[in-house]
Amino acid sequence: MSIPTLISIIAPAYNEEATLPEFVKRTASVFDEMSDYDCEIVLVNDGSRDSTLEVIRTLKQQYPMITVVNLSRNFGKEIAMTAGLAEADENADALVIIDTDLQDPPELIPVLVEKWRSGFDMVYGKRASRDGESSLKKSTAAAFYMLMKNVGSTPIPRDVGDFRLISRRVADALLMLPEKHRFMKGLFAWVGFPQAEVLYDRDARFSGATKWNYWKLWNFAIDGFTSFTIAPLKIASYMGFITALSAFVYGLFVLFKALIWGDSVQGFPTIMLTMLFLGGVQLLVLGVIGEYLGRAFNEVKQRPLYLIESIDRAERDVSADESG
């Protein structure tokens, strides 16, 4: 008898005390039906302020397939996911990234696994509907995807969250990317390999509240954008070029006007206008450069992505199988 295929479920949790028991229960029962597969549930506690860690530890007594990764503070979902991928059992043949708030139904996992078995390295869940989201959130999301598609160098599939299955080699490829501004949706798209999508209805949150607000989303979008395109820097130089050219043309005009008709002291509005305009353009361009410089600064610091306070690995009984 061979060792069953191992699938690691990577689930980042930040203040999810209310949803975790239900999440683990539903995920474990999905695997009860999948007898050919072993399952490890990597719960990454991302510096929660509520009793998430205690809830996870209690759950682990009942479900030994849980691996508890306890980060030293809140690092944000992108990094929590990376930590989960890095700390998952290295024998895992496929890894599933899923939210713990049950917005991504664990019952979809067998479908993802089936697609993976048919030869895809990455199988992502695509939202057939975005229930419970405001029209503002929907329209800003649409604008972001459109921008990324037209200006970004890596096309990112629309309405696809982080919920997906990735093969071992995709996980290894992701872990090879050392960048600190980890816009995972973009990194997933960047690594490539055969990909397939599975449509699903994204449920409303089981309990608790979303950790996103518009300010965070805005910063997230800037991170995504700057990580995958330098178009704003190019726009800055084009803008500089156009302004300089028009200033030159205007300068010629002023010169000839003064030569032909002489110069009377006029033109205060023109001076103010050009000064304010140029000052504005310069500040804007400096800001754009600053965004990139700041990110370059963060990258060269070479800090570790995250720190783990404690880790408690899943128990997997394979000894009996190995002898056979």
Residue 244 CA to its chain's centroid (Å)? 38
- Alpha-carbon span 309 to 217, nearest angstrom: 28
Write the DSSP string, 82-142. Answer: HHHHHHS-TT-SEEEE--TTSSS-GGGHHHHHHHHHTT-SEEEEEEEEETT--HHHHHHHH
Pick what 211 binds: ligand UDP, Mg ion, none; C-beta below 5 to 8 Å, kind-dependent: ligand UDP
Region for residue 47 given its phi and psi (left: phi exceeds 0; alpha: psi -120 to 50; beta: otherwise):
left
Q: Do 151 and 232 contact (CB within 8 A), yes or no?
A: no
- Alpha-carbon span 101 to 113, nearest angstrom: 21
C-beta closer to ligand UDP: residue 132 or 279: 132
Pick what 121 binds: ligand UDP, Mg ion, none; C-beta below 5 to 8 Å, kind-dependent: none
Pick what 14 binds: ligand UDP, Mg ion, none; C-beta below 5 to 8 Å, kind-dependent: ligand UDP
C-beta closer to ligand UDP: residue 14 or 63: 14
Least CB distance to ligand UDP at residue 290 (A)? 25
Least CB distance to Mg ion at residue 37 (A)? 26
Pick what 46 binds: ligand UDP, Mg ion, none; C-beta below 5 to 8 Å, kind-dependent: ligand UDP
Give the residues lining the site for ligand UDP (CB under 6 A). Answer: 12-14, 16, 46, 74, 76-77, 80, 99-101, 103, 210-212
**What is the amino acid identity at position 253?**
F
β-sheet bridge partners, residue 199: 126
Residue with tokens 């949706």: 185
Least CB distance to Mg ion at residue 41 (A)? 18
Give the residues lining the site for Mg ion (CB under 5 A). Answer: 101, 103
Pick what 13 binds: ligand UDP, Mg ion, none; C-beta below 5 to 8 Å, kind-dependent: ligand UDP
Least CB distance to Mg ion at residue 84 (A)? 16
C-beta closer to Mg ion: residue 184 or 288: 184
